[in-house]
Amino acid sequence: MNKRRNEHRKQLRQALAGKGQRFTRQRARVYEVLANTDQHPTAEEVYRRVKFALPAVSLATVYKSLDALVQCGLAQKLTYGDGSARYDANVLEHPHMRDLLTGKVLDVPTEISPSLAITLPEHIIVSIEQRTGFKVKGLRIELLGHLGPIAQSAQ
């Protein structure tokens, strides 16, 4: 096993133990797949990648493993109004770009993303909460559009 894989497994063991969950090789492989990609795969895409190393793994096991990673704070689930979901091992707040035709999700390049405000001024949040009764728990910035030739060649 390489050093990176050992680090991922150690991180996974600690996170799972902190939530009272078990470490399994299926969860370890799902986390490795997710942590080693800059893509934002669907559960089905993760399943196809995991199946190479663990041919007997089921899609249900991959879904359960992804849910465990989200509960442990090692991944985030990016959900959309159409019911689709993608997963990201980068749990720090950061903006995304989503292609409306393909559903692919990319991170806004890191040299650009600091320019995007990830927070709203406190007085705006307070105003929203007072006017609507909606309790703001977070903010997600997502740019919607279509992949151009530059983004497609980077895939």
| pLDDT tens-digit map of 74-99 | 999 998 777 789 999 999 888 889 89
Buried b (16+ CB within 10 A) or exposed e, 16-25: beeeeeebee
Q: Distance between CA atoms of 131 and 147, rounded to whole angstroms?
A: 37
Q: Is residue 155 predicted with pLDDT exceeding 60?
A: no
Judge: domain 92-155, CATH 3.30.1490.190: yes
Q: Let me know if the fold of 1-91 is the same as that of 92-155.
A: no
CB 63 within 8 A of CB 57: no
Residue spans per domain, the chain: 1-91, 92-155
Q: Is residue 153 predicted with pLDDT exceeding 80?
A: no
pLDDT at 150: 66
The CATH fold assigned to 1-91 is: Arc Repressor Mutant, subunit A (1.10.10)
CB 119 within 8 A of CB 72: no
Q: Distance between CA atoms of 115 and 64, rounded to whole angstroms?
A: 36
Model-level pTM?
0.81
Q: Is residue 154 predicted with pLDDT exceeding 60?
A: no
| pLDDT tens-digit map of 5-63 | 888 899 999 999 999 999 999 999 999 999 999 889 999 999 999 999 999 999 999 99
Across the range 89-110, mean pLDDT stands at 87
